[in-house]
Structure 1
Amino acid sequence: MKAMTRIWFSFLALTFTAPLLAQDGADGQFDAGAVEALKGLQLLDQRLNAIGYRLVDANAPYCDQKAPRTGFFLNDIAQYADQETARYALGFDDMIGITAVAADSPADSAKLMPGDTIQAINNMSIDEISMDDPQLASEPPVYRRIAAINRMMEQALAKRGAQLTVSRRGVSRTVLIEPVITCPGKFQIRVSADRSATADGEMVSITSRLAEYFLDDDEFAAVAAHELAHNLLKHNDRLNAQKVNRGFFGQFGKSASRIKTAEIEADRLSVWLMANAGYDPDAAIRFWTRYGKEHGKGIFSASTHYRWKKRVKLFEEEIAIMATIERVDGKLPPPLLTSQD
């Protein structure tokens, strides 16, 4: 754990404080530590992409809104301080490439792989995709291009699928990719020294420091499912409509009570989402027991969340309820989603 932590701290410093250092010389070698850190980040992207895809795909019958999904995750080399090192580490031929492909997804069926470079979408070159859309104005400049590409991809998939021109080690080919329809949900690893996870109504973000703490993918899925549950239950919109204070004063009064209610709902729904996707819901108990013992703040815990022992009891109660429910087509209909119908 300590060795991996040093790698991530090194990655943070190299990427966001100073350029990654490539070794000089004709042999084309790059700084081994920087390459290892980038590959480590890519591995976390791949794990979260696979977990997120399984969660939204398996629970699609119970979501009132749907979204087309391919199962791959794109990355833009422009996001990195030393682009040549990043391109080498990720294996891209050019600037926009695939970082992760979920198993049993449309991207997997199309034989796309991490490292494949996207050259065009429906015969439009990546370089020709406009970044002038007003909806992209809030994006930081370094993320605007990948946001524009993802937006174009979503629009193409919503119509009839997308024809991609991809290259792998300099050899180009054309691939027709048809999406599956799943629950809405986007997932990302956010490089940070903090252990945290968030949901903004659309995106689930899990920090690299927290991701490295998980013992297995079931624990990873427990946290991802909790944040996804917030988005599926539209907690962000609901709390905004209630004018809930998210700052310091949100720890008191009605704001704290309403946030805690949302947290309880997300915990309850999360284990249903996990079970339907084939993850062990008991992992939520294992994770929060271990994390609570190591990092719980006792009486200083936030008033908007249950303390870890009470949280674990909530999971136990919900899993016991799940055991009494008859499966429908192999799935457990989550009451918090089906009650919205």
Structure 2
Amino acid sequence: MAGRANKAVAGAIRVKALRATVAGTSRLAALAAAALLSACSTFAPQSSAPQATSATPLPAEQVTPVLSPRMAAAQETLKTMVALQDRLTRVSAPLLINNADLCKGQARNLLGFTAQNRYSYPGEYSEASHAVLGYGERLQVSSVLAGSGAARAGLRKGDGLVAVEGKQLQGGPDAESQAAEVLGPLVGKQATLNMTIARNGGNQTLNVPVTRACAIRVHLGNSDNINSYADGQRVLITRGMVNFAQSDEAIAYVLAKDIAHNVLGHAGSMRNAATVGSMIDNLVRTKPDLSLLIGGAGIKAVPQEMDAAADNLALYMLARAGYNIDRVKPFWQRLSTQYPATVLNGYTAVHPGVAYRLAAIDKSVADIKGKIAGKKPLVP
């Protein structure tokens, strides 16, 4: 997003936007997810209907559209990406909302939902989004962050965005940037937004409280290497890492660690932000340039002291978000054993100080449990 207003809304409406996944340039979505809709249906003729012959063409409504291989592939890719991004949104929600005070300067007032239309996707994915997600000209709510003010106000997936504070929200190719210009100034100065939405064929008005949360965008990476990346403002977890982690809880361990790296400013301190940012820009695309994953990709290994500091903050974030911290150490042990530092562009290659980290994790877990037992605030 360009301009101050767009930046204010980037964290507000994005925490992952699938548009970033398929295009790499989503301007409005923060955490993209959407309900999957059926692309087409099969017509079943009644037994009394006349049989078609070569001289009698089938009525138009009886013809099932035949998708080209390219469009069928686009629809399947979009379905998979939406499902995975939706999972990241769900897992990251308590981490971002419950730790606003620990995010320090990266906490912002956010809208707590994402919105997209068919123009949020490039090329054949625009048509696929219409078929798979039901997107059209108008911006449509694609996900609502659990625990946010938007969720409490009753905003739902599929709601169309009509107006905010009496200002109409336009549809079409520039809908996202135009909405950013309207919403940006409002989110920063108002506790509640009066929003008009389209639902079930009519308009409704909702008073949507803004949500104080960590303004860190969470993305899915379209690659199979076992890694995640943090560039100071964004977190990206690869498809390979999601598959390795398997459980939502383990995914939360990875996300919390990278959120902590961002809060602590480690990418900037290491002068690694631009390099990591370029990797994130690449991997959010539908067809990333996987040749960039050859070798070390120019990404510097994180010093063990920085890694331990991020592990410590991540453990507090996890505990405050309701995740079980007893299984954090076994997860990182399993990862480093199966994918050691010799696996290039794997997580351990960028975070090689495993023994140092594991010892620090033991101490942090003990400290957190002591604070819980003593009913002390869970702050590092």
Same fold (TM over 0.5): yes
1:318 aligns with 2:318: no
How far apart are 1:333 and its partner, in Å? 0.9
CA offset digits 1:179-234 (Å, max 9, x no partner): 12233322222333443322222222223332233222111111111111112112
Superposition CA RMSD, Å: 3.8
Instruction: Note if contact 1:94-1:117 (Cα within 8 Å) is conserved in structure 2.
Output: no
SS at 1:212 equivalent: helix
In structure 2, do the counterparts of structure 1 residues 248 and 57 end up closer, same or farther at CA, with 3 Å as the change threshold?
Answer: closer
In structure 2, do the counterparts of structure 1 residues 189 and 312 end up closer, same or farther at CA, with 3 Å as the change threshold?
Answer: same
How far apart are 1:124 and its partner, in Å? 3.4
- Cα separation, 2, equivalents of 1:48 and 1:209: 13
How far apart are 1:169 and its partner, in Å? 5.1
- Cα separation, 2, equivalents of 1:244 and 1:189: 19
Q: 47-56 or 213-222: which moved more?
A: 47-56
CA offset digits 1:241-271 (Å, max 9, x no partner): x9999887775xxxx6x74433232122111
Name the residue aligned to 1:195: 226
Instruction: Note if contact 2:231-2:274 (Cα within 8 Å) is conserved in structure 1.
Output: no
Alignment of 1:252-263 (within 5 A): 259-263=303-307
SS at 1:296 equivalent: coil
Instruction: Note if contact 1:260-1:303 (Cα within 8 Å) is conserved in structure 2.
Output: no
Which amino acid in structure 2 is aligned with residue 158 of structure 1? G
Which amino acid in structure 2 is aligned with residue 262 of structure 1? M
1:72 aligns with 2:113: yes
- Cα separation, 2, equivalents of 1:108 and 1:38: 25
CA offset digits 1:25-84 (Å, max 9, x no partner): 756766666544423322322222233331122122334333113322233432243323
CA offset digits 1:66-114 (Å, max 9, x no partner): 3113322233432243323212322335353222222222111122222
Which amino acid in structure 1 is aligned with residue 123 of structure 2? A
Alignment of 1:129-140 (within 5 A): none
Instruction: Note if contact 1:45-1:100 (Cα within 8 Å) is conserved in structure 2.
Output: no
Name the residue aligned to 1:134: none
Instruction: Note if contact 2:226-2:238 (Cα within 8 Å) is conserved in structure 1.
Output: yes
- Cα separation, 1, equivalents of 2:319 and 2:139: 34
In structure 2, do the counterparts of structure 1 residues 225 and 148 end up closer, same or farther at CA, with 3 Å as the change threshold?
Answer: farther
CA offset digits 1:129-149 (Å, max 9, x no partner): 9xxxxxxxxxxxx9x864664
In structure 2, do the counterparts of structure 1 residues 264 and 145 end up closer, same or farther at CA, with 3 Å as the change threshold?
Answer: farther
Instruction: Note if contact 1:296-1:307 (Cα within 8 Å) is conserved in structure 2.
Output: no
- Match for residue 351 of structure 2 among 288, 292, 305: 305
- Cα separation, 2, equivalents of 1:81 and 1:194: 26
Instruction: Note if contact 2:304-2:357 (Cα within 8 Å) is conserved in structure 1.
Output: no
Name the residue aligned to 1:159: 189
1:277 aligns with 2:328: no
Instruction: Note if contact 1:298-1:307 (Cα within 8 Å) is conserved in structure 2.
Output: no
Name the residue aligned to 1:7: none
Instruction: Note if contact 2:138-2:170 (Cα within 8 Å) is conserved in structure 1.
Output: no
Which amino acid in structure 1 is aligned with residue 187 of structure 2? L
Q: Between the two proteins, what is the percent identity of the paired residues?
A: 23
Which amino acid in structure 1 is aligned with residue 133 of structure 2? L
SS at 1:68 equivalent: strand
CA offset digits 1:145-178 (Å, max 9, x no partner): 6466456434322221323332235433232211
SS at 1:118 equivalent: strand
SS at 1:213 equivalent: helix
Instruction: Note if contact 1:70-1:106 (Cα within 8 Å) is conserved in structure 2.
Output: yes
1:90 aligns with 2:133: yes
- Cα separation, 1, equivalents of 2:212 and 2:353: 37
In structure 2, do the counterparts of structure 1 residues 243 and 147 end up closer, same or farther at CA, with 3 Å as the change threshold?
Answer: closer
How far apart are 1:308 and its partner, in Å? 4.1
Name the residue aligned to 2:161: 118
Alignment of 1:1-341 (within 5 A): 34-65=74-105, 66-78=107-119, 79-82=121-124, 83-127=126-170, 146=176, 149-150=179-180, 152-160=182-190, 161-168=192-199, 170-240=201-271, 251=300, 259-298=303-342, 305-326=351-372, 331-334=377-380
Instruction: Note if contact 1:153-1:162 (Cα within 8 Å) is conserved in structure 2.
Output: no
SS at 1:236 equivalent: helix
Instruction: Note if contact 1:289-1:309 (Cα within 8 Å) is conserved in structure 2.
Output: no
Name the residue aligned to 2:13: none
How far apart are 1:23 and its partner, in Å? 8.0
What's the TM-score, normalizing by structure 1? 0.71
Q: 48-57 or 222-231: which moved more?
A: 48-57
SS at 1:333 equivalent: coil
Name the residue aligned to 2:284: none
Q: 108-117 or 242-251: which moved more?
A: 242-251
- Cα separation, 2, equivalents of 1:81 and 1:292: 39
Number of residue pairs matched by the alignment:
297
Structure 2, unmatched stretches of 5+, are 1-17, 24-38, 42-59, 277-295
In structure 2, do the counterparts of structure 1 residues 245 and 277 end up closer, same or farther at CA, with 3 Å as the change threshold?
Answer: closer
